[in-house]
Amino acid sequence: MGPFRRGALQVRTASKAYPIHLGEEPAADVFRGILERFANRKIAVITDSHLAGAYQDALHGAFADAGREMDLLILPAGERSKTRGVKEKIEDALLERKYDRGCLLIALGGGVVGDLVGFTAATYLRGVSFVQVPTSLLAMVDSSVGGKTGVDTPFGKNLVGAFWQPEAVYLSIDFLKTLPPAEFLQGFGEILKYGFIMSPSLDRRLAKDREAILGGDPAALLPVIRESLAIKRDVVGKDERETGGLRRTLNFGHTAGHAIELLSRYRLSHGLCVSIGMAIEADVSVRMGLLAPAARDTIKERLRSYGLPVSVPRAMGFPALYSAMLSDKKSGADGVKLTLLDRLGHCAKGPAKDYAIPVPQKILAEAFAGARK
Ligand SMILES: NC(=O)c1ccc[n+]([C@@H]2O[C@H](COP(=O)([O-])OP(=O)(O)OC[C@H]3O[C@@H](n4cnc5c(N)ncnc54)[C@H](O)[C@@H]3O)[C@@H](O)[C@H]2O)c1
């Protein structure tokens, strides 16, 4: 029997339908599965230096078994690779090696590789196919699904990009065995977010099974990943390009989080920044009279129980954070707009009956001051 016997979740967006294969097979089997499915394509594997170290042998083995040569592009690991400059280098390498429109790119890595390779696939020869093989917890539950691709600029994160859906997502939690513990933890920022914005039942499960989940027990972790993915799948299925408003709910914690990430010059990881951002935006929800203080306290406690931060680094002044939030692409000319909660597991709708609620600068200043204690 081939890999991923457990079956797949189907994503159906306006532009494309594709499967998320979800399981716990070893890396070599994952690669074999992809080579079987895309037997006639010219394939380039694009990954980062950490993953190449851990999985090069498995890749070589799978390609050799299939009687194929392996073309591997290795990028320096880390957010600093998610740039227009690195994208250009990938494009030049593909052009030099004569990759045509029928090719397939494999994005093997975390969110950085996924976003970068996805964006490259979106524009290379006006668009080629790619598959996501997410290897970080964050990429598994969030960035590998939904088709948002892009790069960072000195003006902010993800400011240049495209919506471009993969052909498939091959997700095996076996990759988590080599993921550094701090990277594993930051993935829970996004998982907890799904509970906070949309799923009281996921939130309860995360509270009840915390030890087994944090211990990486597949019986506890796989259902949590599946439930997170099902939420993301449903949201992007209804609102692929964030035009109907629903996809905006996924932004909870991200406007404040992205500002912190930018000011840390990307030294603080995305998941940690989103965790602090969620603590702040939950507090803003309370200060706006939408959320009960007890719900905010539960959110902060849940984040802490997963080892995630809820305080803003002291060195970051409010004026700089505010200006970074204004430059976030989700803010408008009329100030900062946030996704806020009106109860645990539910997002509030604002005056325009959408999930982008204008927040006065004074309330933001108070919430940031409160998060410094
Ligand atoms: N497209 C989207 O919808 C979306 C959603 C959320 C986040 N993102 C983006 O995702 C990025 C963050 O993703 P990330 O946290 O995965 O970052 P990352 O890709 O930099 O991975 C984090 C670190 O873990 C290492 N790593 C990953 N998997 C590994 C494994 N199995 N074994 C050993 N090392 C491994 C990487 O080499 C890197 O050093 C950000 O750029 C963020 O903007 C995109």
End-to-end CA distance of the chain: 55
Q: Does 123 sit in the ligand 1 pocket, CB within 6 Å?
A: no
- DSSP 8-class letter at 140: I
For strand 43-48 and strand 71-75, is the pairing parallel, antiparallel, or unpaired? parallel
| Phi-psi region at 246: left, alpha or beta (left = phi > 0; alpha = psi -120 to 50) | alpha
pLDDT at 334: 76
pLDDT at 103: 98
Q: What is the secondary structure of 232-300 as a DSSP string?
A: HHHHHHH-TTS-SSGGGGGGTTHHHHHHHHHHTTT-S-HHHHHHHHHHHHHHHHHHTT-S-HHHHHHHH
pLDDT at 266: 85
Angle at 236 between CA 343 and CA 259, to 5 degrees: 65
What is the rounded CA–CA span in Å between residue 323 and residue 101?
A: 42
In sequence order, the 6+-apart residues with CB closer than 8 A to the CB of 207 are: 302, 305
pLDDT at 3: 62
Q: Does 50 sit in the ligand 1 pocket, CB within 6 Å?
A: yes
List the catalytic residue out of 25, 227, 251, 337. 251
Query: How confident is the chain (373 residues) per 10-residue block, as mean pLDDT?
Result: 68 94 96 96 98 97 95 95 98 98 98 98 98 98 96 88 97 97 96 98 98 97 96 92 87 95 90 97 98 98 98 95 86 85 96 92 97 82
301: annotated active-site residue: no
270: annotated active-site residue: yes
Q: Does 112 sit in the ligand 1 pocket, CB within 6 Å?
A: yes
Cβ–Cβ under 8 Å, residues 373 and 311? yes
Beta bridge partners of 73: 46
- DSSP 8-class letter at 78: S
CATH numbers and ranges of domains, the chain: 8-179 (3.40.50.1970), 182-370 (1.20.1090.10)
Cα(186) to centroid of ligand 1, in Å? 10
Cβ–Cβ under 8 Å, residues 300 and 370? no
For strand 156-163 and strand 168-172, is the pairing parallel, antiparallel, or unpaired? unpaired
Cβ–Cβ under 8 Å, residues 372 and 312? yes
pLDDT at 327: 81
Residue 128, classified by CB atoms within 10 Å of its CB into exposed (0-12), middle (13-18) or buried (19+), is buried
List the catalytic residue out of 167, 183, 190, 227. 190
pLDDT at 7: 65
Cα(176) to centroid of ligand 1, in Å? 12
pLDDT at 4: 67
Cα(80) to centroid of ligand 1, in Å? 12
Q: Which amino acid is at 207?
A: A
Distance of CA 135 to CAs 19, 55, 64, 363, 365, Å?
17, 11, 22, 38, 37
pLDDT at 242: 81
pLDDT at 1: 39
346: annotated active-site residue: no
pLDDT at 34: 97
Nearest residue (CA) to ligand 1, atom 3? 143
Q: Which amino acid is at 321?
A: L
pLDDT at 6: 58
- DSSP 8-class letter at 39: T
Nearest residue (CA) to ligand 1, atom 29? 179
User: Angle between the 181-198 and 200-208 helix axes, to the nearest 10 degrees?
Assistant: 140
What is the rounded CA–CA span in Å between residue 33 and residue 158?
A: 31
Q: Does 134 sit in the ligand 1 pocket, CB within 6 Å?
A: no
For residues 78-89, one letter each, b for 16 or more C-beta atoms within 10 angstroms of the residue's C-beta and e for the rest, the string is ebebbbeebbee
84: annotated active-site residue: no
Distance of CA 279 to CAs 173, 274, 286, 309, 342, Å?
28, 9, 11, 9, 14
Q: Probe ligand 1: pick from 25, 47, 87, 135, max atoms within 8 Å of CB?
A: 135
User: Structure tokens of 355?
Assistant: 């999930």
